[in-house]
Structure 1
Amino acid sequence: MRRKSLETLNNDYGRYIWRKWLVLLVLLVITAASGLFSLIAGSAGLSVKEVILAIAHRGDLRTETIIWNVRMPKLATAAAVGAALALSGCIMQNVLRNPLASSSTLGVSQGASFGAAVAIVYFGAGIQVNAGGTSSALTVTNPALVTLCAFAGGMATTVIILAISRLRGTTPATMVLVGVALSSMFTGGTALIQYFCDDVMVATVVYWTFGSLGRAGWRDIAIIVVLTFGAFGYFIYNRWNYNAMESGTSTAKSLGVHVDALILSSMALCALISSVAVAFVGCISFIGLIAPHIMRRFLGNDYRFLIPASALCGSALLILSDIVSRTLLSPTVLPIGALTSFLGAPLFLYLIIKRGGMK
């Protein structure tokens, strides 16, 4: 009888694991299909055959130029940034014990926006030029400086949060409140910078905060990918520790988890990858918040599967958002950050209503 019971448990566990892997496989197929459609969609009107030939460097010059110089970098940026933001949101929600934690709610994105505004307005990274007649425009002449300042602003937020936590021994809930306060402070600072600028500079700062996947080059993409893969490896290594954290910090400590060290190291890595992502592409809202919640509906809180699933879901969501931004009002390209906020908010509200609130 006991042997039969053990066999039943083993079979049930095997089916449980198989379903998790099936969800990951389906998600991988969806992400790959979204990526292929991203290369096809657009005003150029390319076919699947033309895209495949261009990827293999056997297409005509025009198609290869469109694919490799325009669409492939945007696809790679969307996949890398979506994964980075979703990973950071997934882990932040675990270690802070707060389902609303993400880089945007903790002030990382707002700190990056403040840093970019400082670079554009005060460090000479933006120069106003005559666009013909009486009109003028402002071009970002030093994108590296803007990226560096945005990264510094995003990391500054996290350093302050971690420093206060270390010095005062605050709880995870208090860390979220500190992030909200810093977010408000950086938003106010950005607003003050815009208040004392002329109209053209204000428009440029606002446009940067909307987000754009076309800013990052291949070297920038490589930086995002390397850092994201490094963080992913660390998160997967600690997957059982995150599972223990789901039962509470007391239970995790009783199981041998070094809770304080795990929270600090995880928060630092989350801030690093999200700050780098925001620094290169601007503010992308809701991806880091909503992707983990979507996958929890299918996988629960098993971080062995939730971590890679969140990364894939974040990539797929940002790729699909990019497709919508390029095709909805073609040939006009909508700002990706504004679009993710517009589409993400109703979806997030739907998830809250379906779950009867987030506990």
Structure 2
Amino acid sequence: MNISQSDIRRKYDKKVKIKLLFIPISIIVTIILMAIFTGVGAVDVSLKEILSAIKNIITNNSVNMEQKVIVFLRLPRIILSVLAGMGLAVSGTIMQGITKNSMASPFTIGISSAAACGASIAMIFGISLFSNSNLGIISNAFIFAILCAIFVYSISIKLGMKPEAIILSGIAINYLFSAVTSTIHFYADDHQLASAVQWTFGSINGAKWSHVLLLGVILSVSLCVFMRHSWILNAMVSGGDEMAKTLGINPDKSRTVVGVFSVFLTAAIVSFTGVIGFVGLVAPHIARLMVGGDHRFLIPYSAIFGGILLLVSDTIGRTLLAPVNIPVGIVVSYLGVPLFIHLIIQNRKEYF
């Protein structure tokens, strides 16, 4: 049976409309989950109480301790978990695209080990821009993550900015910073070592509105850049660099631009939350299995799934054994690994 070009076009447009329709629906679902999980904690509160607390803070009315906890502790934590999950998932999508490696993640180029090294130096030796403070740990983690990215991209540029060069350079730098971190830990006392190791677990504890605002701005700008390069990423992934060049695309330049924004976004997240692995690996795969490899849809869907995954993981971590907080980096692995394995088994043709 012959299928006309108009029929193919009509089916394609229908699929695109469905994918576009589910983006706002997914965003609404995420907002509903945020509202529900804000009320969940050591003391459960209703949506009415949450709205009342927000209103009182905005209008400078008197607020009780419970309302302060909602506005200054729970809400920043909830929003930061969603933003961090979105950022890690999108960065993972970009890294998988520019390296053409489905096992790549935001930490492929060694950002996590570099950030851990910077944080360890601040916690153990007190060497940072803001000594003996949480801000010193954050600044050190961010600076070392950026330095790591500079090293990797400098080596990659000399090697022609190819995907293989980025991955191999990242692996080498990752081992280097891991060795330095281990050496630093060797000289730490028990208390310092416990603090440094706990930082690597990843946690949303201590979230502040300033963190939310800064990360929100960085994520928004990065998403705009990524979406603008979505067609270019499609060409690079599906046809390779040679095909991209025939379309007038400079693959090395595009890979550098989106890579730099991905690194900057990841570095900002890690400096606030510590190392939260697996979100940047599993969320892009979930999105890819749902909507395919078109980066116009893969990027926003990865962000949504990543945000939901980290939001649910953090909520479980802070409520399961309350008042004890389980680091979100641990919980997300317990949730993500079985889900990821299930997806591989159910869709094994996509991988093998």
The reply to whether TM is greater than 0.5 is yes
**Among candidates 185, 188, 194, match of residue 179 of structure 2:** 188
Are 1:358 and 2:316 matched, yes or no? no
Distance 1:59 1:255, change over 3 A: farther
Are 1:102 and 2:105 matched, yes or no? yes
**Among candidates 131, 146, 150, match of residue 159 of structure 1:** 150
Structure 2, gaps ≥5 residues long: none
SS of the aligned residue for 2:249 comes to: coil
Deviation of 1:82 after TM superposition, in Å, equals 1.2
Contact 1:50–1:63 (CA<8 Å) still a contact in 2? no
Counterpart in the other structure of 1:26: 25
Q: Deviations over 1:159-214 (max 9, x none)?
A: 11111111122531232122122222222221221111110100010111112212
Q: Deviations over 1:267-313 (max 9, x none)?
A: 11111000011011111111111111111111101111111111121
Amino acid in structure 2 at the alignment position of 1:192: T
**Among candidates 259, 267, 281, match of residue 267 of structure 1:** 259
Are 1:169 and 2:160 matched, yes or no? yes
Amino acid in structure 2 at the alignment position of 1:288: G
**Among candidates 212, 219, 223, match of residue 203 of structure 2:** 212
Contact 2:126–2:132 (CA<8 Å) still a contact in 1? no
SS of the aligned residue for 1:330 comes to: coil
Are 1:16 and 2:15 matched, yes or no? yes
Counterpart in the other structure of 1:254: 246
Contact 1:116–1:146 (CA<8 Å) still a contact in 2? yes
Counterpart in the other structure of 2:303: 311
Deviation of 1:220 after TM superposition, in Å, equals 2.1
**How far apart, in 1, do the equivalents of 2:343 and 2:92 lie?**
16
Amino acid in structure 2 at the alignment position of 1:352: I
**How far apart, in 1, do the equivalents of 2:111 and 2:212 lie?**
20
Deviation of 1:35 after TM superposition, in Å, equals 0.7
Are 1:299 and 2:291 matched, yes or no? yes
Amino acid in structure 2 at the alignment position of 1:261: K
Counterpart in the other structure of 1:136: none
Contact 2:313–2:332 (CA<8 Å) still a contact in 1? yes
**How far apart, in 2, do the equivalents of 1:265 and 1:329 lie?**
43
Amino acid in structure 2 at the alignment position of 1:190: T
**How far apart, in 1, do the equivalents of 2:22 and 2:164 lie?**
32
**How far apart, in 1, do the equivalents of 2:324 and 2:134 lie?**
23
Contact 2:73–2:207 (CA<8 Å) still a contact in 1? no
Deviation of 1:60 after TM superposition, in Å, equals 6.0
Q: Deviations over 1:49-106 (max 9, x none)?
A: 3223333339962332121011011012112111111111111100110111112233
- RMSD, aligned CA: 2.1
SS of the aligned residue for 1:56 comes to: helix
Distance 1:241 1:344, change over 3 A: same
Deviation of 1:319 after TM superposition, in Å, equals 0.7
Amino acid in structure 1 at the alignment position of 2:25: V
**How far apart, in 2, do the equivalents of 1:156 and 1:21 lie?**
38
Are 1:50 and 2:49 matched, yes or no? yes
Contact 1:285–1:337 (CA<8 Å) still a contact in 2? yes
Map 1:273-284 → 2, pairs under 5 A: 273-284=265-276
Amino acid in structure 1 at the alignment position of 2:220: F
**How far apart, in 1, do the equivalents of 2:345 and 2:167 lie?**
23
Deviation of 1:43 after TM superposition, in Å, equals 0.8
Deviation of 1:348 after TM superposition, in Å, equals 2.4
Contact 2:50–2:70 (CA<8 Å) still a contact in 1? yes
**How far apart, in 2, do the equivalents of 1:246 and 1:27 lie?**
26
Counterpart in the other structure of 1:234: 225
Amino acid in structure 1 at the alignment position of 2:95: M
Larger relative contact order, structure 1 or 2 (CA cutoff 8 Å, min sep 6)? 1
Q: TM-score scaled by structure 2?
A: 0.91
Q: Which moved more, 1:182-191 or 1:236-245?
A: 182-191
Amino acid in structure 1 at the alignment position of 2:290: F
**How far apart, in 1, do the equivalents of 2:323 and 2:301 lie?**
33
Structure 1, gaps ≥5 residues long: 126-139
**How far apart, in 2, do the equivalents of 1:153 and 1:165 lie?**
18
Counterpart in the other structure of 2:37: 38
Amino acid in structure 2 at the alignment position of 1:73: P
Alignment: residue pair count = 343
**How far apart, in 2, do the equivalents of 1:340 and 1:105 lie?**
18
Amino acid in structure 2 at the alignment position of 1:353: I
Deviation of 1:6 after TM superposition, in Å, equals 4.6
**How far apart, in 2, do the equivalents of 1:220 and 1:55 lie?**
18
